[in-house]
Amino acid sequence: MSDLWTMIWKEAKDSLLQGGREAWVRPLIMIGFLGLFLPWQLKQSWLALSPAAMLLILALPFLFS
């Protein structure tokens, strides 16, 4: 189990520190866009989205990364 945590720690450290400042900016932009801008623009229709549309919207950032 110790080896598993060592591997998780190393991979997390490498992925977070690999790209420098740019590695932190891209996720923050996606969080800002999907978590703040879209709900603000769509207002009540955001809550009435179908599950398929919501899944598509939430999956898009993973496609770009």
Instruction: Read off the pLDDT of residues 32-60 as tens digits, 9 standing for 90 and up.
Output: 887 788 778 878 887 788 888 888 877 77
pTM for the whole structure? 0.41
Average the pLDDT over 3-32 and give the result. Answer: 77
- Whole-angstrom distance, CA of residue 54 vs CA of residue 29: 19
pLDDT (0 to 100) of residue 19: 67
Each domain of the chain, given as residue ranges in start order, spans 24-65
